[in-house]
């Protein structure tokens, strides 16, 4: 099993923009005592406030499972993460800049801490266990309100000090631009679930709760919804083809809310990618298999790596 043969559970924390998920994860990848609490937002000390909440959660879990104390902890967060240095470089939503998560958490928890990026960690589990495991050149995209991604090259995560995988901020041709045709926007604005809902609302004047409803409207013949959906597919295909040309990507795993559309997303996306590419290898487009717990499993995998094979 990918999580190793070690018997002791590890503490696992998935810090998101809204919630923190926490639990003990055993050697088989089973999550014990899973809980979800709101992420504390303290503009004055955003990193410290999060670590304090993690310490509280660790104490609750230790009290609930006194027989199996955790020997390591994994923490994952969004934004730009320098995992080697143990630093949360930047999070637009959560507010920290250069906060030393590993050092602070190790001091407070008293056990070794593995600190890493949320999507990269979840993607590593998805890549190890999911449909892309046979490939070494892989991009895992999480397409939800925004777009985050993890890039693998030669079977290893490309980190670049936390700056790789910013696919949501990569430029795409802007479908709303006027006749000056080289105008560009970013992928997130056109191809994310959030972007689709916003663009539909702007174009039609009709509010929609999300991309799911835009897809349903498109299926029922709404031509504005059809255009917005097609433009999202175009933008996603554009960025996927950039990955193919720059780093020879063989497989793209798509998760997040938009992936729930399944083949209604993947089929036109495959067709568009095929149309754009020339002599290049066609990447396999694969729907993510792991669900909401991929982050917790990823953080646990990172923590377990600290313990080595014998623990």
Residue ranges in 241-260 that form contacts with a second copy under rule CB under 8 A: 241-250
Q: Cα separation of 149 and 243, whole Å?
A: 11
- Name the residue nearer to a second copy (CB basis): 70 or 240: 240
Token pair 């991604």: residue: 149
Query: Would you say 272 and 266 are in contact if contact means Cβ atoms under 8 Å apart?
Result: no
Q: Does 201 contact a second copy by CB under 8 A?
A: no
Binding mask 7-46 for a second copy (x = CB under 8 A): ----------------------------------------
Q: Taking the CB of residue 155, how many other CB atoms lie within 10 A of it?
A: 11
Rg over CA atoms, the chain: 20
Q: Does 133 contact a second copy by CB under 8 A?
A: no
Calculate the alpha carbon distances from 20 to 3, 51, 122 in Å: 22, 11, 15
H helical segments located in the chain: 46-64, 101-109, 118-129, 187-191, 193-204, 211-219, 223-247, 263-276, 294-307
Binding mask 134-153 for a second copy (x = CB under 8 A): --xx-------------x-x
Q: Does 104 contact a second copy by CB under 8 A?
A: no
Q: Cα separation of 115 and 72, whole Å?
A: 11
Residue ranges in 261-290 that form contacts with a second copy under rule CB under 8 A: 276, 278-281
Of the candidate spans 14-22, 63-71, 122-130, 233-241, the one that interacts with a second copy by CB under 8 A turns out to be: 233-241
Q: How far is the CB of 126 from a second copy (least distance, A)?
A: 18
Q: Does 97 contact a second copy by CB under 8 A?
A: no
Query: Which positions touch a second copy (CB under 8 A)?
Result: 80, 90, 92, 136-137, 151, 153-154, 156, 158-167, 169-175, 177-184, 231, 234, 238, 241-250, 276, 278-281
């Amino acid at each position: 099993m990918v999580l190793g043969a070690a018997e002791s559970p590890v503490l696992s924390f998935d810090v998101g923009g809204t919630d923190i998920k926490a639990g003990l994860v055993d050697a088989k990848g089973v999550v014990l005592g899973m809980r979800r609490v709101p992420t504390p937002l303290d503009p004055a000390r955003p990193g410290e406030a999060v670590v304090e909440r993690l310490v509280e959660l660790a104490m609750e879990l230790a009290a609930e499972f006194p027989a199996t104390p955790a020997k390591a902890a994994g923490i994952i967060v969004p934004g730009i993460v320098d995992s080697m240095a143990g630093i949360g470089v930047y999070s637009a939503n959560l507010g920290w800049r250069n906060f030393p998560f590993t050092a602070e958490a190790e001091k407070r928890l008293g056990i070794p801490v593995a600190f890493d990026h949320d999507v990269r960690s979840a993607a590593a589990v998805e890549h190890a266990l999911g449909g892309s495991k046979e490939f070494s050149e892989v991009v895992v995209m999480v397409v939800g309100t925004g777009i985050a991604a993890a890039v693998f090259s030669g079977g290893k995560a490309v980190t670049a000090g936390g700056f790789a995988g910013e696919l949501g901020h990569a430029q795409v041709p802007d479908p709303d631009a006027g006749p000056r045709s080289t105008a560009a926007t970013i992928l997130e604005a056109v191809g994310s679930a959030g972007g689709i809902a916003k663009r539909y609302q702007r174009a039609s004047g009709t509010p929609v709760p999300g991309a799911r409803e835009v897809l349903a409207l498109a299926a029922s013949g709404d031509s504005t919804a059809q255009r917005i959906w097609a433009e999202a597919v175009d933008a996603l295909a554009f960025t996927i083809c950039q990955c193919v040309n720059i780093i020879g990507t063989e497989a793209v795993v798509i998760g997040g809310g938009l992936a729930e559309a399944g083949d209604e997303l993947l089929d036109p996306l495959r067709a568009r990618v095929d149309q754009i590419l020339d002599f290049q290898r066609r990447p396999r487009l694969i729907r993510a298999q792991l669900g909401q717990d991929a982050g917790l499993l990823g953080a646990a995998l990172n923590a377990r790596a600290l313990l080595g094979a014998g623990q």
